[in-house]
Amino acid sequence: MSASARTASQLLALCEGFSPQGPEPTFLSALRAAGREAFAAGGLPSRRQEAWRHTSLKPLEGLSFHLPSGEATVDRGELELLSSPVFACSLFVFVDGHHRHDLSTPHAFAGDLRVESLRDVRASGAEALPSELGTLTDLKAHPFAALNTALLDDGALVSIPAATQVEHVIHLVFVSTGAAAPLSTPRVWIEAGPGSHAVVLQDHVVVGGEGPRLTSAVTEVTLGEGAHLELVLLQRESDATLHVSNLEVRQARDSRMGSHTLTLGGRLVRNDLRTLLVGEGAETRLHGLFLGSGEGVVDNHTLVDHAVPHCSSQELYKGILAGRSRGIFRGRVLVRPDAQQTDARQSNPNLLLDYGAEIDTQPQLEIHADDVKCSHGSAIGRLDEDALFYLRSRGIDMAMAQRLLTRGFAAEVLRALPGEVLGEALGSVLSEVLDAAETGG
Amino acid sequence: MASEGPILEIRNLQARAGEAPILHGIDLTIGSGEVHAIMGPNGSGKSTLAGVLSGRPAYEVTGGGVHYKGHDLLSLPAEQRAREGIFMAFQYPVEIPGVPNNYFLKASLNAIRSYRGQEELDAIDFLSLVKEKMKIVEMPQDLMGRAINEGFSGGEKKRNEVLQMLLLEPSLAILDETDSGLDIDALRVVATGVNHLRGPERSMLVITHYQRLLDYIVPDFVHVLSEGRIVRSGGKELALELEEKGYGWLEKDPPEAEAGASG
């Protein structure tokens, strides 16, 4: 048995040995079984598969994962300190994939907005659960989504009622703790009602835990007619973290979605994002900023699926790679035959800070309609020598000059974040990470 | 004027850019409080001299030396030269997207203040200082919040250079063709900013292709640079002579060097 197959069979054994606590509707156990079957059939992806051609799962090999109880002690003060730059009144906290009432402050969620834990809700029966849970994700195409589904236990259910403007950021914090290869599989369901507006921040952190860990997250999102949703995914776990995320979005007529994926570290990060534009006039903006350092690998695969006419998509992913890190960007834009008058733009500029760093970038347009406006481009560069000299000639030392320029490169993505507060807060989080990242060579 | 030794002493300076030798032995001494102008045709080595003095990595010094305040200048990295009081106003100020101008100016000022043992300025003190200096160069407020030089007009870029100079209060200011691309109004404003800084403790090296800048920033000495050497030195009237005769005579009529006109 290969090392990869051994890891897969260990993970499958975890799935098979898993039993949820308390009563639950049968559709959940059926969903779980479907996940288990898909994972058993497909196993872990290999580089022979096109979608994983550039990304090796070697860092996963040899690890023996376990499912933590979610009862680990997490110091509230430490958590607040960590989340304070982006803290926005309402924290909904998960520890190792499990919701924690004691660390959350859901009282700040006003009105009819519902932010609940899957575990709390499932005991109330099938009616209390979103009927479409699990239906947006293709388990066969995404082995880690299958793993997440096979271990479906807890997560966040966010339901924004029609025509509701949610003032505060809905801040979901996912804390990973402990040592010895913990596995957490958070699940998020977001339903933005027609004409609603909200910002949801998913914030992944590590508190008091060292060593390798795996997070396999699945988020499913539906936007009703005219809904406007801004989704922020902040991945700022430890450099030993493996994080695989699947984000599946479906957008109805005239809805607007902004996605902001900020990857600030990790040993191996793979994000699959798909947005399906099924209603005319829908608009999607995908922003990404990924930072690699050390031996880290960050892989972003996005797919914008234009299924109907008069939709627009704009995509900007920026990579900053230091040390011997590697970045992968594959952005697919699919314009189906019916999707006339599509306006799709995509761009992926990358900055290599060190000579050992690498990027594979592959924009991919597939256009089956004839009356469309589409463009894409990618670029790879280093810090501008003239700009560095300009800053240094004003007394700013080399390290600071490099940080200023790197921060400047990232600024466009930060500016796109919803609300000035979040942009500034994440800007300072980014600066801290850049200050800590060792570059040279 | 100068109570002690010269602020800058350039001896037989030779430098190249890539494989091409550009400076072939420059000698120049600048005393405290003096304003020297260097004039010369395109390709004579004016910008190379400014680049070498300010520490631009693109140039390699192949011979000779430079002493600044009695110390070897060429061994210092660019940021160290700036902290020691050398300021170069760029001929082509660099546009830096994503880095706000005010953030940059504050970082620069505080790097230099802290090197000089002065307290760093907080946001409020910085703002009031920068506002005061902006008035001198008639610079619109909104340029502060924008990215460094991004989308600035030619005149705005040069005002931004002089603003930085006013903030950093250098001991030796090098103006590299600061007049290029400026209309007469912008030129007047920029010159006003520069003259604001003139004083017995501050020296200037004004590099220009045209005489007209020197109507506004009147030099104590004028040097003519040709093919990497100073071929003539004199007082401010030399600039007028050049304006009249152009640079053509440099090729036909080998100069009678008046070395050591400075200091």
Residues of B in contact with A409 (CB under 8 A): 97-98
Task: For residue B68, list its beta bridge partners.
Answer: B8, B71
| A188-219 pLDDT tens trace | 999 999 999 999 999 999 988 789 999 999 99
Give A24-44 pLDDT, tens digit per residue: 888 899 999 999 999 999 999
Whole-number pLDDT of residue A108: 59
Residue A76's pLDDT band (boundaries 50, 70, 90)?
A: confident
Please state the ipTM of this predicted complex. 0.94
Q: How far are the Cα atoms of A13, A116, A122, A145, A213 from residue A34, in angstroms, in the given order?
A: 15, 24, 18, 11, 25
pLDDT tens figures, A255-304: 999 999 999 989 999 999 999 999 999 999 999 999 999 999 999 999 99
**DSSP structure string for B75-141:** TS-HHHHHHTTEEEE-SSPPPEEEEEHHHHHHHHHHHHHHHTTPPPP-HHHHHHHHHHHHHHTT--G
Count Cβ–Cβ pairs < 8 Å, chain A vs chain B.
86
pLDDT of residue B172: 98
Decide if B152 touches A, using CB distance below 8 A.
Answer: no
Structure tokens, A150: 């096979």
Q: Measure the CA–CA gap between B1 and A195, rounded to whole angstroms.
A: 74
Burial tier of A324 (Cβ tally within 10 Å: 0-12, 13-18, 19+): middle
Residue with tokens 């921060």: A407
Check if the beta carbon of residue A327 is closer than 8 Å to that of residue A271: no
- Does residue A223 have a pLDDT over 60? yes
The dihedral formed by the CA atoms of A134, A138, A139 and A142, expressed in degrees to the nearest 10: -130
E strand intervals along A5-113? 91-95, 98-99
User: Which token pair is B115?
Assistant: 């090197």
d(CA A76, CA A86): 15
Percent of all residues in chain A with a pLDDT value above 90, rounded to a whole number = 77
Shortest CA gap A387–chain B (Å): 6
pLDDT at B253 over 60: no
Q: Evaluate if residue B3 carries a pLDDT over 50.
A: no
Q: How far is CA A365 from CA A256, A310, A348, in A?
A: 22, 17, 13
pLDDT of residue B2: 41
Q: Region A151-161: what's the mean pLDDT?
A: 95
Chain B residues with beta carbon closer than 8 angstroms to that of A401? 79
Buried-state track A251-268, b at ≥16 Cβ within 10 A, e below 16: bbbbbbbbbbbbbbbbbb
User: Token pair 């958070």 is at which residue?
Assistant: A186
Q: Which of B76, B80, B95, B96 best tests the A interface by mutation, with the highest count of A CBs <10 A?
A: B96
pLDDT tens for each residue of B44-79: 999 999 999 999 999 999 999 999 999 999 999 999
Higher pLDDT, B87 or B259: B87
Say if residues A152 and A162 touch (Cβ distance below 8 Å): no
Collect all residues of chain A within an 8 Å Cβ-Cβ radius of residue B108: 391, 394-396
Query: What is the torsional sign of CA B12, B13, B15, B21?
Result: negative
Per-residue pLDDT tens over the stretch B148-190: 999 999 999 999 999 999 999 999 999 999 998 899 998 999 9
Alpha helices, DSSP H only, in A278-397?
A: 385-392
The values of phi and psi at residue B236, to 5°, are -65, -20
Give CA separation, A144 vs A16, A27, A435, in Å: 15, 20, 32
Cβ atoms within 10 A of the Cβ of B60, count? 13
Residue A136: pLDDT band with limits 50, 70, 90: very high
Mean pLDDT of all residues belonging to chain A: 92
Q: What is the pLDDT of residue B255?
A: 47
Query: A426: distance to nearest CA of chain B, Å?
Result: 15
For chain A, give every domain's residue range. Answer: 3-436
- pLDDT at res. B249: 76
> Does the distance separating the beta carbons of B107 and A407 come in below 8 Å?
no
The pLDDT value recorded for residue A86 is 64
Average pLDDT value for residue range A70-75: 88
Q: Which CATH class is domain B8-252?
A: alpha beta
Q: Does B108 touch chain A (CB under 8 A)?
A: yes
pLDDT at residue B251, as a whole number: 63
- For the stretch A89-135, pLDDT in tens is 678 999 999 999 999 886 556 678 999 999 999 888 878 899 999 99
Q: What is the pLDDT of residues B23-34, one digit of tens each?
A: 999 999 999 999
CB contact under 8 A, B56 and A394: no
End-to-end alpha-carbon separation of chain B, Å? 10
Tell me whether residues A396 and B107 touch, CB distance under 8 A. yes
Facing A396 at nearest CB: one of B87, B98, B111: B111
Instruction: Return the number of other C-beta atoms located less than 10 Å from residue B102's C-beta.
Output: 16
> Which of these ranges, A317-326, B1-10, B32-41, has the smallest mean pLDDT?
B1-10
Q: A204, A248, A260: which is closest to A222 by C-alpha? A: A248
Strand partners, A268: A242, A297
Contacts of A407 in chain B (CB under 8 A): 98-99
Give the mean model confidence (pLDDT) for residues A404-428: 89
Tell which of A316, A384, A389, A435 to mutate to test the B interface (max B CBs under 10 Å).
Answer: A389
pLDDT at B102 over 50: yes
Find, in chain A, the residue whose alpha carbon is nearest to that of B84: A395
Helix (H) or strand (E) run with residue A306 in it: strand A297-306
Tokens describing residue A441:
């060579």
pLDDT digits (tens, 9 = 90+) for B103-144: 999 999 999 999 999 999 999 999 999 999 999 999 999 999
Among A386, A397, A411, the residue with its CB nearest the CB of B94 is A386
Residue B174 · residue B205 · CB < 8 Å = yes
Chain A positions contacting chain B at CB under 8 Å are 384-387, 389-398, 400-401, 404-405, 407-412
Residue owning tokens 């189906």: A336
Tell me: pLDDT of B259 over 50. Answer: no
- Does the beta-carbon distance from A408 to B98 stay under 8 Å? yes
H helices of chain B, in order, are 46-54, 78-83, 101-115, 123-136, 154-168, 184-197, 213-216, 237-245, 249-252
pLDDT (tens digit per residue) in A224-238: 999 999 999 999 998
The answer to whether A60 and A44 are in contact (CB under 8 A) is: yes
Dihedral class, residue A11 (left if φ above 0, else alpha if ψ from -120 to 50, else beta): alpha
- What is the band of B258 on the pLDDT scale with cuts at 50, 70, 90? very low
Kindly tell me if the per-residue pLDDT of B263 is higher than 50: no
Q: Do A395 and B58 lie within an 8 Å CB cutoff? A: no
Which residues on A lie below 8 Å from B121 (Cβ)? none
DSSP class of residue A127 equals: G
Which residues are bridge partners to B37 per DSSP?
Answer: B206, B222
Q: Pairing state of beta strands B229-234 and B221-226?
A: antiparallel
